[in-house]
Amino acid sequence: MRVLFTLLLLFSSIVFANGNSSMSKTQILNLISEYKQAPISETGYAAVKKIINFAENSKDVLVEVTPETTPWLTHDKVSDPIKGLLLGAYVVGNIEPQLMFNEKKPQHCSGATEVARVVKLIIRPNAAAEIRLIEQLNKASLNRYDCSKEKQNQALNSAE
């Protein structure tokens, strides 16, 4: 657990440093929308830096990062750039429903669903095996927490 927490701090401070923690919930939700349009872009990267900083410093959200919730984060066959990208996706997916519903409670299923979405957008030469591994690890985590698509859709539809 201590190693995972150290990794989280390492990724968030090195990869996502220099965000602004004084942003409002509405501003963060707008950044999440921007990020979701193009997570693997300069715009997505700029948005996720601020989102990660908000998540680290806000009393309004709670994100739990454990070997069970983010198994790809400690796996030695997943590259560090991909770990950083997926950690950003996990945090985005995790805090969005917390902000939408004003409920400070980790939302693993939403975070893992966003990871699954972003993994499908990764286009890198020679990354097919790494992507399959991430998909398998993330799917196992979704199953462990009983994250059915039906449950996800019900939660999101009730927010509209």
Q: Tell me: the pLDDT tens digits for 72-104? A: 999 999 999 999 999 999 999 999 999 999 999
pLDDT for position 120: 93
Looking at per-residue pLDDT, the higher value among 20 and 134 belongs to 134
Between CA 45 and CA 19 the distance in angstroms is 11
pTM here is: 0.79
CA pair distance 95, 105, nearest whole angstrom: 9
Q: Which tokens hold the place of 129?
A: 């095996």
What was the pLDDT predicted at 127? 82
For 108-139, what is each residue's pLDDT tens digit? 999 999 999 999 998 877 788 999 999 999 99
Asked whether the beta carbons of 115 and 93 are under 8 A apart, the reply is yes
Residue 148 has a pLDDT of 80
- According to the model, what pLDDT value does residue 128 have? 87
What is the token pair recorded at 114? Answer: 């966003």
Mean pLDDT for 60-76 is 95
State mean pLDDT over 30-38.
97
Instruction: Answer whether 115's CB lies under 8 Å from 71's CB.
Output: no
Residue-averaged pLDDT of the chain: 85
